[in-house]
Every structure is written in structure tokens, then in C-alpha cells.
Amino acid sequence: MKIGTKAIHAGVEPEPVTGAIMTPIFQTSTYVQKGPGEHTGYEYARTQNPTRDALQASLAALENGKFGLCFGSGMAATDAVMKTLLPGDEVIASNDLYGGTYRLFTKVFERYGMKFHFVDMQDVENVRAAMTDKTRMIWVETPTNPMLNIVDIEAVCGLAKGAGVKVCVDNTFASPYLQSPLDLGADLVLHSATKYLGGHSDTVLGGVVTSDAALHEQLAFHQNASGAVPGPQDCFLILRGIKTLHVRMQRHCENGRAIAEYLKSHDRVGEVHWPGFESHPNHDVAKRQMRDFGGMLSFSLKDDTMEAAAELMKSTKLFALAESLGGVESLIGHPATMTHASIPLAERKKTGVVDSLIRVSVGIEDVGDLIGDLKMALANSAKYATVR
């Protein structure tokens, strides 16, 4: 099955009692047993729920994996993956990680005696250099936020294979439509389904997929033991979102390309970070491991001031100023004051997060309207231009 068919059919069967074609929301905490220990496979809803089961099977199929597990959020899924490790274990992670992941690693798991090395994974040699005999996991995020850097998943997995190290790829930015990390050698794929999988900015949920039965068993144990499970209504909403994943992603990619090209042609725009440009430093890797280049991009202004960026972001009417990404509606954000505010200025600038850097999650509205909105906002902010 191709992804468009899987998105609609994988994991879902008509409900056996009534024939309901859509998986019902099984809003129940427990299931009646015929006799002691004589149950249908469903005993208690933290452990099993049919709506969640359907979503888990759908996610596994989308990622070409054997097993899927869902959690109350992307962070809860990450938490479960980290609990498969032990004190003393070391993890190598991308240095421009999602902020919540960085916080969970450094503020929670470091307290339990785990060690994290953060490296620039655009150069795989940096990963090799950070490996020790205690390395147990490599945590990859690609494309990265907000610079849209690309990490060569296959090359990283090549380093890990012989060394008994597991590779987990956070595939949130790409979605299964653009990238299949398990096919490139990864052991685990993680999702914040809150973003593209759900696609409508109305649900928080996370998922993990693997084909490794032993890893799956450990994760399923933690899913039940720690209990960070999503409710059935949230599972239903993500399942519903997934049915249009391929159609939405196609439009996100088309609109993303058109907006990247428009911005590049604008005389007040500095750099445009989008992996589809041949000039992008990791374009060749992106072309090899991704099916298209997505709807996430960021750009700076030539007059690199907070004021110009702020005026631009306050001026847009269609691009809403908000955190998050991956919904049908376009969002605009300012990493320097929003997602990356806690990072010192010098550090921030080193990784390219300059004062005027603006991140855009391109939605699936009419692209002419979106470009018109940006054109107007760029004109509005020109009064702050220092470079003319």
C-alpha cells in the first residue's frame, strides 16, 4: 500500500457490532468480563483501548514499522523512550533540538545519572567523535528547528549499527509523508502528532514506532506503568487528521516552495532557510532522504533588528503569531523571543538564530493570499529598515 491508501485504511476496520465505518471513540475506563479473568483482550483503559489501538496500528503502518504506541503528548513519548535507558548510559543528540526535548534531557534525565552530548549532526564526524563505550542512543531531529538543517539519517545509523547503539529519529517536522527513518536504518521513530499528523491544531498527542520487538515490549511496559496515555477522543481526532495527511502535505510542500521562492526574491529579505534550495548546505542529503521539502521555513531580514521583525509579525493577517506548526492554517513565529528566548544571545547567533529570524509554518490556504499577506507585512515593516 502507498501512503495515501495507508493514511485512510491502515489500522482501521469497521466496528464489528454495528459496522460503523469510522472507529468509535471508546469513552470507557473499564470493560466487563464474562467471568474472572475471562475478558475480550480489553481489561482496563490505561492498558488497552480500541480507539488507541487503531491509531497505534495506523501510525506503525505509516512509518513502515511493526509496532506503534501512543502517548499523551510528544514529550510523554520521548519520556518513555528515555526510560528504556539506565543511569550511566550516554545519549548523543542534535545541538539544535526541540526546546522541550532539550529540557527533558538536561533537567530531568540528567538528574537520574544519564549523560547527554549535544553535537552539530550536519557533520556525522561530530557524532563519531562523541561516541564512547557508554553510548546507548543517538537522538536525531531532522529537519531541525528553526534553521531547517538536515541530518543524514542513514550515515548516523551506519555509525550506530556495529556499536549496539539505538537511533531514535524525531520525525515531527517531516511527517511520514516526507521521510521514513526506519527504512534508513533507525530503530525508533518519534512523533509529536500534535503537528502534521493531527494537522488541525486541536489535539496534543505523541507516538513512537519501532520494528524491534524487545524495544516495543519495554516501551509498552512504560506506557502502562507510567500511564501517560492519550484519551480516546484525542486518538480519534488524530486518526481523523491522518486520513488527509498526504493531501495536506502535498499542499504544504507546494505552498512552502512558492513562499520560499517569493521571500528569496524580496530585496529586504536576508537568508531564506529551506532545504529545497540547491544553495541549502544539506540540499543533497535532503533530496536523498526526503520525498519533498515540506512547509517549514525560516528567514532573516537584511536590516537585522528585533523591531523590523516584530512589526512584520504583527502586520500579517493570515499568518497567526503563535507557537507550534503543522496545522492547516499558516503560523509565524520569532525564535529569538519565543522558542529560543532562554538561549544566550551569543549562542543563539552562532547557530543562526539572529534577532530578525522569522519562522513560518506554511499552511494550506490559497498561496496567492499567503504571498499577498507577507508582501503587505514586509512593506509595513520597511519603516524600520536600516538598509535601503
Q: Which residues are catalytic?
A: 46, 98, 170, 195
At 94, is the secondary structure helix, strand, or coil?
strand
Instruction: Determine the interface stretch with ligand PLP among 57-65, 153-161, 167-175, 267-275 (rule: CB under 6 A).
Output: 167-175
Size of interface with ligand PLP, in residues (CB under 6 A): 15
Q: Smallest gap, in angstroms, from Cβ of residue 376 to ligand PLP?
A: 28
Beta bridge partners of 206: 71, 192
Nearer to ligand PLP, 286 or 377 (CB): 286
Q: Smallest gap, in angstroms, from Cβ of residue 324 to ligand PLP?
A: 7
Q: Smallest gap, in angstroms, from Cβ of residue 269 to ligand PLP?
A: 24
Q: Which residues, 6+ apart, have CB-to-CB distance to 329 below 8 Å?
A: 201, 320, 363, 365
Cβ atoms 332, 313 nearer than 8 A = yes
* Nearest residue to the partner ligand PLP, using Cβ: 74
- The alpha-carbon radius of gyration of the chain (Å, integer) is 21
Cβ atoms 57, 70 nearer than 8 A = no
Nearer to ligand PLP, 159 or 190 (CB): 190
299 binds ligand PLP (CB under 6 A): no
Cβ atoms 186, 169 nearer than 8 A = yes
CB atoms under 10 Å from CB of 291, counted, come to: 15
Cell numbers for 12: 482501521
Q: Smallest gap, in angstroms, from Cβ of residue 305 to ligand PLP?
A: 27
The binder of ligand PLP chosen from 23, 56, 73, 223 (CB under 6 A): 73
173 binds ligand PLP (CB under 6 A): yes
Grid coordinates 545541538 are at which residue?
Answer: 95
DSSP 182: G
135 binds ligand PLP (CB under 6 A): no
DSSP 49: -
At 311, is the secondary structure helix, strand, or coil?
helix
82 binds ligand PLP (CB under 6 A): no
Q: Smallest gap, in angstroms, from Cβ of residue 302 to ligand PLP?
A: 28
Residues between 87 and 126 that touch ligand PLP (CB under 6 A): 98, 100-101
- Residues in contact with ligand PLP by CB under 6 A are 73-75, 98, 100-101, 141, 170, 172-173, 192, 194-195, 204, 206
